[in-house]
Amino acid sequence: MSSIRCKAIQAALDIASHVVSARHLGEPETNRALFDLLRREKLVSQDLADALHAMAGFRNVLVHGYAEVELRVVHDILENHFDDLLSSAEQICKNLGL
C-alpha cells in the first residue's frame, strides 16, 4: 500500500478537524462526524461526505487493527477512491474562498 495514500486519508481528517475547530462547527465524537459537520455547512457535498466516511472507517481498521485487512480491498480503495481525497481538499478550499 502506498504510504502517500495512507497519509492522504489522515491529511483529509486533519484538514476537516482544523476547519471544524476554526469555524466552531461543533464537537465531533468521531472522525466520521467531522465530515458530517462539513457537509452540514455545505463545505463538502453529500456524496463526498459519504466517501470520506468510508475512508475514515477504513483508516481506523488500518491503524487500530479492528479487523483483518484484505489486500484486495485496500488496493481497490486506494486505486479507485483516491480522487475523493483530492476532491475533499478542493471542495473545502473553494467553499472557504481559498
Identity of the amino acid at 92: I
Tally of CA atoms within 13 A in the half-sphere of 55 that contains its CB: 30
Q: Could you please report the per-residue DSSP string of 51-83?
A: HHHHHHHHHHHHHH--SPPPHHHHHHHHHHSHH
C-alpha cell at 35: 465530515
Which residues are tagged catalytic? 59, 64
